[in-house]
Amino acid sequence: MIKYPILSLLLLLPSCVSVSTTSLPTLDVQAIIGSNDLALYNSVDFKKKITKLYPDLSEGTIEQAIEELYEEGKGVCLVININKIVNDQPITKPYQHVQNLNEGQQMASIPAIIKDEEFRSSTGFLISENKVLTARHVVERANFDELRFIFDYNLSSDEASLVYNGFTGVMEEVSPEQVYKASSIVALGKGSVETKLSTDWCVIELDRPVSNAKILEISRKSVQKNMRLSMIGHPDGMPMTIAMKGKVLKELRDREGGIEGGKSYRCSLDSFHGNSGSPVFSFPEIELIGLYVAGKKKDFKNGNLYKYPEESENILQSFIPIHHLKDMINNL
């Protein structure tokens, strides 16, 4: 593909109208938990970094996990508003949101989707040839007709490693064939996500089948405490990024009217705004077990990226299990 330098076209955006905020559990904290375990898809140092994170795993196991993560990434998409696309290309600027994380300075040059007061960005993933699963609150906060789904949105494999040396990233050019429109909502969770977090899911039908993409298969694997996790998504509108290390911290139960309901799980995955709707996998088996949905700020400081201790009580990052959706999705 042809490469192009990141766009910085803020003046081309239409005026934005502020929308009223709600109490939906969106991820409004940029959370690094423990060490910085994020890696760009296509990064040449990915294997080295993940080997360091998992010294107990064999080289063969790590290589297999990386291969499977890359394959699953072919079915993950960036979800943005049409007002952030100019001349068929997403509007980006260097991330630069790393003031409170010394090791995060390597992220400062990564191109990220520009922000405004309306819908920002999120993630989704393909569950059939033309249907995407994402977080329901993503859709509830957006103008549905203006949503766009971009597959294979990656930093150039030729440039990915250079970002970590202060290079201003170069993206693969987005072709019109990679961009899809929302056609209809075909299924969604019922009830308030404030009291029933397990209902924060939504299946969207796209305007046409997605070509050259991976349909992700939901596993029936049960979620267990301390289970190792990984996640693929577009944190803060960045190119596809893999959270390489996390674990299940605790099981939570919905509570509505004092009655316990569906499950969700607190986890230690590094996650930013924009990860809502990301697929969560067991590691190193890379089985799709969850949908990332929420995280609230508790000790967020000065609007900057903040680092949590690995066992901090302030970790509120959460995902919902999706094995119970498998039969429904297969029948859509």
Is residue 14 included in any domain, yes or no? no
Is residue 17 included in any domain, yes or no? no
Is residue 126 included in any domain, yes or no? yes
Is residue 15 included in any domain, yes or no? no
Q: Which domain holds residue 144?
A: 25-330
Lowest-pLDDT choice from 29-33, 94-98, 253-257:
29-33
**What are the structure tokens assigned to 154, written together?**
């990656």
Q: Quick one: pLDDT band at residue 248, thresholds 50, 70, 90?
A: very high
Q: What is the mean pLDDT of residues 102-119?
A: 60
Question: 81 or 96: whose pLDDT is higher?
Answer: 81
**What are the structure tokens assigned to 74, written together?**
């072919």
Is residue 136 included in any domain, yes or no? yes
Q: What is the tens place of the pLDDT at every residue in 261-291? A: 688 999 988 887 889 999 999 999 999 999 9
Is residue 37 included in any domain, yes or no? yes
User: For residues 280 and 290, is the Cβ–Cβ distance under 8 A?
Assistant: yes
Question: 259 or 250: whose pLDDT is higher?
Answer: 250
Q: Which of 26, 163, 39, 30 is nearest to 99 (CA)?
A: 30
The answer to whether the predicted template modeling score (pTM) of the entire model surpasses 0.85 is no
**What are the structure tokens assigned to 259, written together?**
């009655």
Euclidean distance between CA atoms 45 and 252, whole angstroms: 36
Structurally, the chain folds into a number of domains equal to 1
Is residue 168 included in any domain, yes or no? yes
User: For residues 288 and 322, is the Cβ–Cβ distance under 8 A?
Assistant: yes
Question: 111 or 227: whose pLDDT is higher?
Answer: 227
Res 157: pLDDT: 63
Counting residues of the chain whose pLDDT is more than 90, the rounded percentage is 38
Question: 116 or 73: whose pLDDT is higher?
Answer: 73
Is residue 11 included in any domain, yes or no? no
User: For residues 77 and 132, is the Cβ–Cβ distance under 8 A?
Assistant: yes
Question: 50 or 297: whose pLDDT is higher?
Answer: 50
Task: Report whether pLDDT(229) > 80.
Answer: yes
Q: What is the tens place of the pLDDT at every residue in 50-78? A: 888 889 999 999 999 999 999 999 999 99
| Per-residue three-class SS string for the chain | CCEEECCCCHHHCCCCCCCCCCCCCCCCCCEEECCCCEEECCCCCHHHHHHHHCCCCCHHHHHHHHHHHHHHHCCEEEEEEHHHEECCEECEEECCCCCCCHHHHHHCCCEEECCCCCCCEEEEEEEECCEEEECHHHHHCCCHHHEEEEECCCECCCCHHHHHHCCCCEEECCCHHHEEEEEEEEEECCCCCCCCHHHCCEEEEECCCCCCCCCCCECCCCCCCCCEEEEEECHHHCCCEEEEEEEEEEEEEEEECCEEEEEEEEECCCECCCCCCCEEEECCCCCEEEEEEECCCCCCCCCCCEEECCCCCCCCCEEEECHHHHHHHHCC
Res 107: pLDDT: 54
Pairing of strands 38-40, 241-256: antiparallel
Q: What is the tens place of the pLDDT at every residue in 32-52? A: 444 556 666 666 667 777 888
CATH, residue 311: 2.40.10.120
Lowest-pLDDT choice from 61-70, 177-186, 245-254:
245-254
**What are the structure tokens assigned to 268, written together?**
């230690």
**What are the structure tokens assigned to 86, written together?**
């100019």
